[in-house]
Structure 1
Amino acid sequence: MRTKFLLLLGLLSIISTYCATQEQIISFEKVNVIPMDRDTILKNHRVIIANGKILKIEPTLSQPPIPVDQTIDAEGKFMIPGLVETHFHLQNNIENEFKLLIANGITSARNMAEYDGQDHIKIRNQSRNNEFFAPHYYTTGPYLKRDHFQHIDSVESVVQFHKDRGYDFLKIADNLPKDIYLKLLDRTNEAGIDVVGHGQRKMPLEYSLRIKSIAHMEEFMYILPEDKLHDQYYLKRAAQDIKSSGIYVSPTLGIFEMIRRYADKQKSAELHADDNLKYLPKHYSDYWTSVRINYRVHKWFIAPESLKRLQNELNWQKMFTKMLHDQGVPLMAGSDTYGLFLPGFSLHRELELIHASGLSNYETLKTATLVPARYLNTITQSGTISEGKLADFVLLNKNPLENIKHTKSIFGVVLKGKWLNRIILDQLLKEVENNYSEE
């Protein structure tokens, strides 16, 4: 009797939610749900969404408990939470780059620098107001380097600027004098602003672990003593210290891999033939496929011994990524979109490299779903497929728990409760191609 009563209450709750909304009610039928709160698949399930949220998740054994406006046959498909790009850089047109993100299943993005002439607070507001197709958006302020702090009193004005503008994070990207760095941490703490970015390479590791997150596994190659980089005992202790600090780490292995691809003639030729270059402005792709870029000019990159060094350094970063994971350090996927590492497409390569570091497919998926949701303080609304959470998810044709490359087999995307099927996603890509071909 009690069970029937609880079921009735649940049904009334769903009907109440249904009646209170004027949005379309969409039911995804016979879908395999990968909820991401645990390593499992909920096979042959129904997921009902309305008003931008997930109303109901249940086995597809009967008719939907409420009338639905649209039914999506998702038999044989796999549903995962929307992916999060935690290291995005705007290089060209924002609407075009957002389309690339969305078409690749990315429903949230964290921008990691506001360059001169850009206004990412405006972009964030446009995203929130749905002025154009856009993921949920978060941003740092300017790309802060040593010359932004002419003297210690500069810290006050820099922090106040970030607070007045309302940035989500303050990013540092350079080695700062110790007194300036410590004062910056004091003032940002008082202002309630999280500091993120690069490590402090000229100070002991502990100083770098005082910020919210570190971008680039490469940073640890310079923070840790050079003579200790292959001392497994020392590295394990360092990994334990990193875990104890509570810091998040974004490996960005893919952007480092790109350096070697630029520098190697054969791999560079493969980049030039990439069909995805059509999603970049011609002047931009022409520059990055030219011989003018640093990675094709300096012997530090192009000499045979340099190519070996770059590969060894990438191997070290993958090794340390696995070591940090084994110690429980929260890792976040971010691709540092730059050059020919195209927005959207790049995140899938980043996931492949994280997986190649030794993480399971499930743990790799967490770096682009559950972990960044916890980091962004949105875990109550995103990061997993759960009732009451935002309807931001991806439908895949193939199971990513079998092969991480299957994150690219996108059948459709739900962004802010809107169903974007493959036809719509292809249209977004075509619009980007056409926009740039007309320039």
Structure 2
Amino acid sequence: MVRTKILAKNYQRPAIDMLRGHALSASQAIRFLAVGFLLLTVAASAWGQNAVTLAFIGVNVIPMDTERVLPRHTVLVQGDRIVSIEPSDLAIVPKGAQRISAEGQYLIPGLIDVHSNLLSDKYIADEYADEELAVIVANGVLTIRDPIGKPELLVYRDQIEDGELFGPSLYVGSPQLAGVGYGNAANSRMVATPFEAAAAVREFEAAGYDFIKLAFGITPDIYEGIVLTARGRLPVIGDVGPDIGLGRALESAHQIEHLDQYLETLMDEATPRAKGLSGVGVWVVENWAEIEKLNIGRIETVVRATVESEIWNTPTLAFLNSSFGTGRSDEEIEASSDYGFVSPSVREELLRDRDRFWSDPPEESFRMRYVELRNRIVAGLHRAGGKLMAGSYSPEWLFLPGFALHRELESLVSAGLPPFAALWAATRSPATFLSWGGAGRTEYARVDSEGIHFETATTVEIDFGRIAVGKRADLVLLGANPLDDIRNTTLIEGVVLRGRWIQRDELDAILERSAEVLSDAPLLPGFQEKERR
């Protein structure tokens, strides 16, 4: 069974501990077996030894090289590779190929979410990770980066790559490095000195993590210890605290999450940066009044500095704009597609901070200004050629993995990006960044459509994120054109995961069964309120 495969290799002990801790009820055992059988069936078809050639007939291809649609083409997939893209009236379909009639439908690269934590990272038991990973795939998200890592995620990553586990390709950040004053965050390593920080970077590199994740509470001397040690080893990603500031982060090639410290650059120089609204600053009521004093005229300067630094940004617009700006009513949350994928106890915990913030929210004018400025920065970065990536910030506040990325795409368009640019932020841009980071390198000479070329004369191929002959066959078949309306990314007719076709009825079965299991998954015993970032 798929669940058994998850527990293979180095992952036996958590399962043994779980089984020693409590016995499964009859209903839990039935669900355990049912979902395992379902995912085993899908996984078997997804990694069969002699999979037939796939032929998508008459499909409209959005290759994500330039903004264009290739109408009525036939796309052939053999193994895990795209082998042919030809106009349908010229294409030759091999005998025995599985023909998929796709007239009027649209083929895009598999979507990528670069800020997707799992519920099983801290809220529910690790044994539920397989359901979460399957749900992500069913939403057309075929690659994720989990920025805050733990050893189990490294096991999942390798098992997915080896074809032993059904799920999206997985990139894993390190346990987040945090200052001593940050608190007892989940999956974090608190460091008190530059030497401790440098040792942690070397440890995480040796363990096999793909990135070094930063949280808050990092002092300037500790920051220097991290970035200097990480240089040439692993890219640094994550939060930027007020003691570091945006300027130093840009100099360090630090991949920035949440637009941290961008609003602070619009402040008067005399205003303490601790009065900003990045990170935990949104929780300080008196900080919100500062937003009226921000100088919009400085946006162009900070955008230009960002573009010149060539760093990537993950704005997490949908989560932050909604959670601290416009808000989501109880009715909206209950009507959301991901509402039924958590148990009541987990849902209560996920919404605890939301309820606390909205029990006494800042003035509406401040909150709307917050949304406006964040949108202006993102739109400015897009117009200037900045590197933007789509990240959902799941699963916080019930923005669950897989589902939430589609909200992020909508938010990017609402901020002023054309649908093609939003789609680029969830395909080509993150594929480039993840390939760069996956090479364990932080410096490069140039990037072009074929790869990332390092100063050492080596090249790392960008193997996914676009539709081209020879590229990995991670594809999503849509019922309508996302370039007309980005919301069409939710109209999924099927996905191709590493070369294997999973049609709509199979995706529906995955969602149905996983919802049944995850809605019974209890909040971990003794769960304590933790810092979220």
TM-score range, shorter chain: 0.7 to 0.9
1:368 maps to which residue?
426
2:68 maps to which residue?
40
Give distance in 1, aligned partners of 2:366 and 2:510: 40
The alpha-carbon deviation at position 234 of structure 1 amounts to 1.9
Among residues 98, 113, 135, which one is paired with 2:133 in the alignment? 98
Give distance in 1, aligned partners of 2:245 and 2:348: 41
Give distance in 1, aligned partners of 2:422 and 2:99: 31
Among residues 78, 91, 96, which one is paired with 2:106 in the alignment? 78
> Cα distance 1:205–1:288, how it changes in 2: closer, same or farther (>3 A)?
closer
Q: Quick check: 311-320 or 204-213, which moved more?
A: 204-213
1:240 maps to which residue?
304
1:303 maps to which residue?
360
The alpha-carbon deviation at position 273 of structure 1 amounts to 4.2
Q: Does 1:138 align with 2:171?
A: yes
2:407 maps to which residue?
349
Matched position secondary structure for 2:84:
strand
Partner AA of 1:315 in structure 2: E
Q: Does the 8 Å contact 1:29/1:73 carry over to 2? A: yes
Give distance in 2, aligned partners of 1:59 and 1:238: 45
For structure 1, the residue ranges without an aligned partner over 5 or more in a row are 1-20
Among residues 38, 60, 84, which one is paired with 1:56 in the alignment? 84
1:319 maps to which residue?
376
> Cα distance 1:350–1:419, how it changes in 2: closer, same or farther (>3 A)?
same
Give distance in 2, aligned partners of 1:398 and 1:379: 30
**What do the CA deviations read for 1:289-330 (whole angstroms, capped 9, x no partner)?**
5xxx233235xx443544442332122111110011111111
The alpha-carbon deviation at position 75 of structure 1 amounts to 0.5
Q: Does the 8 Å contact 2:74/2:91 carry over to 1? A: no
* Residues 341-420 of structure 1 aligned to structure 2 (within 5 Å): 341-377=399-435, 380-420=462-502
Partner AA of 2:391 in structure 1: G
Q: Does the 8 Å contact 1:100/1:344 carry over to 2? A: yes
> Cα distance 1:401–1:252, how it changes in 2: closer, same or farther (>3 A)?
same
**What do the CA deviations read for 1:119-168 (whole angstroms, capped 9, x no partner)?**
22112112112222111110101022112212222023201211110100
2:242 maps to which residue?
201
Give distance in 1, aligned partners of 2:305 and 2:337: 43
Give distance in 1, aligned partners of 2:152 and 2:165: 16
2:393 maps to which residue?
336
Q: Does the 8 Å contact 1:25/1:50 carry over to 2? A: yes
Partner AA of 1:285 in structure 2: R
The alpha-carbon deviation at position 175 of structure 1 amounts to 3.9
1:173 maps to which residue?
215
Among residues 152, 155, 160, which one is paired with 1:127 in the alignment? 160
**What do the CA deviations read for 1:32-52 (whole angstroms, capped 9, x no partner)?**
000110111100000000111
For structure 2, the residue ranges without an aligned partner over 5 or more in a row are 1-48, 121-127, 181-189, 270-290, 436-459, 522-533
> Cα distance 1:211–1:224, how it changes in 2: closer, same or farther (>3 A)?
farther
Q: Does the 8 Å contact 1:175/1:199 carry over to 2? A: no
1:285 maps to which residue?
347
Give distance in 1, aligned partners of 2:417 and 2:401: 23
> Cα distance 1:302–1:420, how it changes in 2: closer, same or farther (>3 A)?
same
Partner AA of 1:208 in structure 2: A
Q: Quick check: 158-167 or 35-44, which moved more?
A: 158-167
The alpha-carbon deviation at position 223 of structure 1 amounts to 5.2
Partner AA of 1:313 in structure 2: Y
Q: Does 1:249 align with 2:313?
A: yes
Q: Does the 8 Å contact 1:260/1:307 carry over to 2? A: no
Give distance in 2, aligned partners of 1:254 and 1:134: 24
Matched position secondary structure for 1:87:
coil
Matched position secondary structure for 2:216:
coil
Give distance in 1, aligned partners of 2:132 and 2:265: 33
> Cα distance 1:137–1:288, how it changes in 2: closer, same or farther (>3 A)?
closer
Identity %: 29
Give distance in 2, aligned partners of 1:387 and 1:71: 18
Q: Does the 8 Å contact 1:86/1:110 carry over to 2? A: yes
Give distance in 1, aligned partners of 2:461 and 2:261: 28
The alpha-carbon deviation at position 230 of structure 1 amounts to 4.1
Give distance in 1, aligned partners of 2:337 and 2:402: 14
Give distance in 2, aligned partners of 1:275 and 1:329: 32
Among residues 134, 142, 145, which one is paired with 1:110 in the alignment? 145
1:270 maps to which residue?
332
Give distance in 2, aligned partners of 1:324 and 1:332: 11
Give distance in 1, aligned partners of 2:82 and 2:165: 23
Give distance in 2, aligned partners of 1:22 and 1:304: 58
Partner AA of 2:193 in structure 1: H
Q: Does 1:188 align with 2:234?
A: no
Give distance in 2, aligned partners of 1:347 and 1:368: 8
2:56 maps to which residue?
28
**What do the CA deviations read for 1:170-195 (whole angstroms, capped 9, x no partner)?**
000114221221121111115x1111
- Number of aligned residue pairs: give it: 409
Give distance in 2, aligned partners of 1:320 and 1:312: 12
Partner AA of 2:129 in structure 1: I
**What do the CA deviations read for 1:367-390 (whole angstroms, capped 9, x no partner)?**
000111111127531111100001
Give distance in 2, aligned partners of 1:159 and 1:140: 11
Q: Does the 8 Å contact 2:115/2:145 carry over to 1? A: yes
Q: Does the 8 Å contact 1:196/1:212 carry over to 2? A: yes
- Please give the TM-score of this superposition, normalised by the length of structure 2: 0.73
Partner AA of 1:354 in structure 2: L
Partner AA of 1:94 in structure 2: A
Q: Does the 8 Å contact 1:204/1:224 carry over to 2? A: no
Partner AA of 2:136 in structure 1: L
The alpha-carbon deviation at position 435 of structure 1 amounts to 1.1
